[in-house]
Chains A and B, each alone.
Chain A
Amino acid sequence: MIEARNITKFFSIVNEDRTADGITAVLSVSLTIEDGKIVSLLGPSGCGKSTFLEILGGLQAPTEGSVYIDGAQVLEPLPSTRKEMDEYRRKYRLLSPLANGLIKNRPKHDIAMIFQDYAVFPWMTVLQNVKFTLKLRGIPRREREPVAMTYLRKIGLADSLNKYPSQLSGGMRQRLALARALAVQPRIILMDEPFAAVDALTRERLQDDLLRLWYETGITIVLVTHDTDEALYLSDEIVVFSPNPGAIRNRFAIDCARPRRRSDPELLALKERITSLFKYDINHESEYSI
C-alpha cells in the first residue's frame, strides 16, 4: 500500500530580474493506493504530476508531508527549523539523501520506475540494460541472463538483444524500459507518461501488453498521464490533478469489468465528465487572466 500524507512540494526559483520566487508544484496531496491496483494521475502538463510521482518514488524529498510504502517512510522530509536544518546538513554533507549507499547496491523500496523519455542507458545493449538492473537488485551473476531473457521474450524484444537503444524505435525503447522494470519483479511500478512519445497504434499495443503483464503479476501501477482515454482504459481509479498549485481535484473509481473495450459506453460517459472538468478549468482560468 502506498500512502501519501499531505505532500507539498515547493521549488524556490530566481526570476529574470534576480528576485527570489517560488512555485508550489504540489499542494497538500493525500492519496492512498491499494495493492494490485492501477491508479492514474491525470491532468494537463504543469500540474505537478511528475513531481508527485518522483516524491512517491523517493527521487525528490517533499517539502512537507511524507510518503509511506507498506508503513515504511520513503524519504525523510526536509527540515523545517533551523536546528533540524543544521542536523540535516551535517548528516547529508557527503552523500545526498537520495543515495542508496556508497558501495553496496540496495534498493530502498520495492519500486521500479518508467520515464516518459525512456531513460534506458544508451551505452548498454538491450540485454545489458536489463542485466544491469538485475545486478543492481543483487541477483547473482549466473541468474541474470536467464531472467533477463525471460522478460525480454515476454515483451517481444528477444530478437534485438545486442542492439543499442539508439537502434530501436521509440516503441521498442519503451518496451525495453518496461522489461527492465518488470525483470526486477517489483511490487510497485511508477510510470511517468510512459506512452506519450509513441504513435497511437503502438501506444494501444503497449497498453495491452502492460495490462497482460499486470494480470500475470498483480503489481501495483501508478500511471501519470495526460491522455484521458489511456487513463480510462487502464485504471481502477483516476485521480484528476489541477494546476496552480498542483492538487487533487477529483477522484473517479472505475468499476467497469475487464477486459474492457475502449468504446465501452460506461467509459465514454465518464470521459464526458472528466473532459468537462478540464473545460471548466480552462474557462475559469481565462476569466481571471482577461
Chain B
Amino acid sequence: MNKYETKGARSAFRLALRELGYFFKGAAMNIFSLEFLMVLIPLLGLWELLPRMGVVPRTLVPPPSDVAVAAWDMFTKHNFLKDIGDSMLKFFMGLGIAVITAIPIGVLMGWNIAMRKRALPLFQLLAPIPPPAWVPITIIFFGIGLPMQTFLIFIGAFYPILFNTYQAVKDTEPRYLASARVFGASELALILHVYFWHALGAIIMSVKTGVAMGLVMLVIAEMYGGRTGIGYVLVEAKDYFQISKMVVCMVTLGVIGWFLIEALKFIELKLAVWKVGR
C-alpha cells in the first residue's frame, strides 16, 4: 500500500514538473518568437542609441544599459525582491478573496432568480463606483497598510469576476439543464456539474480581467500608503528623480501581469481540454 502511495506521489511530482516545463516553454515561445525578436532587438537598439547619441536627453530617457545597472543595484543593494514579494502577497490576498467570494456569489445569482432579484441590484449600484474612488474611505477604515491595500485590490478584481460569472451561469444552455433534470439532478448537482462547467471558460476570462484590475489597484494602493512594494518604490523614485528605477518598476509590473495572464491561459487549457477542437 505504502509503496504505491510513494510511487503515486513521485509520479505526480514528476508530472507537475513536466507540466511546469511545458508552461514555461509555451509562455516563453509566445513572446520570444523569431518574428518578434526581429522587432524587439532593433527597438532595444534604438532605445540604447538615441539617448547615447544625444538625440533625446539621457536624463529623461535612460538607455536600457542604465536601466539594467539600476535593476542590478536595486536587487542587490536595496532588496527589491522583498518589495516584489510584499506586492505579490497583497495582490494574491486581494485577488484570492475576490475569486473565492465573487465566483460563488456569481454562480448563485446566475442559478436562481430569487437570489438574483435580491442581490444583483446592490452590486449593480456599487459596481459603477470607480475602484480608485474607494481609496479615501478605505484609508479611514483600515488605516494604512496591508488590510487597506488588500481591500483595494479586492475591490478592483471583484466586480469583473462577479458579473462575468453571473452572466455566464445565467446563459447556461437549457438543454444541458433539461438533460440533467430528466435524470433526477438536484439543484446542487446542476450547480456543481452543469452550470459551473458551462461557465468555466468565461470565469477564467473574467479572472484575467480581475488580474489586470487588481494590478492597477495594487499600484494605486501602494502609492497612497505603505512603506514597501513596487508601487511605493515607484513613487519614491519619482521623488528622487530616478527615472531608471521607475522604468525597472514598470517593467517588473508588466512582467508580473504578463506572467499571471500566461499562467491563467495555461490553467484554462488544462481545465478545458474538452473545448479543444470545438
A and B interact: yes
Interface residues of A (CB under 8 A from B): 54, 57-59, 93-95, 98-108, 111-113, 115, 117, 119-125, 132-133, 135-138, 164-167, 184, 190
User: 14 pairs across A/B with beta carbons < 8 Å?
Assistant: A59-B178, A100-B181, A100-B184, A103-B187, A107-B184, A112-B183, A113-B178, A115-B178, A115-B179, A119-B175, A121-B179, A121-B193, A123-B200, A164-B274
Query: How many residues of chain B get a CB closer than 8 Å to chain A's CBs?
Result: 28
Could you list 18 further interchain pairs (A-B, Cβ under 8 angstroms) beyond the known A108-B184, A113-B178, A119-B176? Answer: A59-B182, A95-B187, A98-B181, A99-B186, A102-B186, A102-B188, A103-B187, A106-B184, A111-B182, A115-B175, A115-B178, A121-B176, A121-B197, A123-B197, A125-B274, A136-B180, A166-B278, A167-B277
Interface residues of B (CB under 8 A from A): 112, 114, 175-176, 178-189, 193-194, 197-198, 200, 272-278
Residues of A within 8 A of B187 (CB): 95, 99-103
Tell whether, in the assembled complex, residue B181 and residue A59 are in contact, meaning their CB atoms are under 8 Å apart: yes
Residues of A within 8 A of B114 (CB): 93-94
- Measured CB to CB, the closest approach of chain A to B269, in angstroms, equals 14
- Measured CB to CB, the closest approach of chain A to B170, in angstroms, equals 14
Q: Known: A54-B178, A123-B197, A164-B274. Contact between A106 and B186, CB under 8 A?
A: yes
Query: In the complex, A59 Cα to B187 Cα: how many Å?
Result: 14
Residues of A within 8 A of B273 (CB): 164
Judged by DSSP, the binding face of A is loop
Query: In the complex, A133 Cα to B274 Cα: how many Å?
Result: 19
Give the 5 A-B residue pairs with the shortest CB-CB distance, closest first. A107-B184, A119-B179, A164-B274, A123-B197, A136-B183
Query: In the complex, A190 Cα to B179 Cα: how many Å?
Result: 11
Partner of A57, one of B176, B182, B278: B182
Residues of B within 8 A of A112 (CB): 182-183
Residues of A within 8 A of B189 (CB): 105, 135-136
**Chain B: which residue is nearest A190 at the CB level?**
B182
Residues of A within 8 A of B176 (CB): 119, 121
